[in-house]
Amino acid sequence: MVVLPVKVTTNAKKFSVSTGWSGELKVHLTCLPVKGKANQELIKQLSLLLDAKVELVSGEKSSRKKLSVEGLSLEEIKQRLKV
């Protein structure tokens, strides 16, 4: 299991993933953070991109989150996200 630090920006025009200066993952989501919809979109999109189980570890109501990814190494994650 790998734990990823993630910085989330909501209400973007399109979904995108990149890396920040500190090495954390930057994810732009298209929905607003209302009733957990942003967290749902984050987990769904990353699960599809990585073809792995992704879960929210911490940061449910914060823009800075920690996600766990099952069954992949950090290098495999970077390759699949092309970051």
Q: Render pLDDT for 6-25 as a digit per residue (tens, 0 to 9).
A: 999 999 999 999 987 777 89
pLDDT, position 20: 76
Nearest to 41 by CA among 70, 21, 65, 19: 65
Q: Given 3-state DSSP classes, what are the helix, strand and coil percentages for the chain, each rounded to the nearest 5?
A: 25, 35, 40
- For residue 82 the two structure tokens come to 């092309």
What local confidence, expressed as pLDDT, does residue 37 receive?
A: 94
In terms of DSSP H, where are the helices of 1-83? 37-50, 74-81
Q: Cα Rg for the chain, rounded, in angstroms?
A: 12
The rounded distance, in Å, linking the Cα atoms of 12 and 7 is 13
CATH class name, domain 2-81: alpha beta
Give residue-wise pLDDT tens across range 38-61.
Answer: 999 999 999 999 999 999 999 999
> For the chain, which residues make up each domain, given as ranges?
2-81
Model confidence pTM above 0.85 = yes
pLDDT at 24: 87
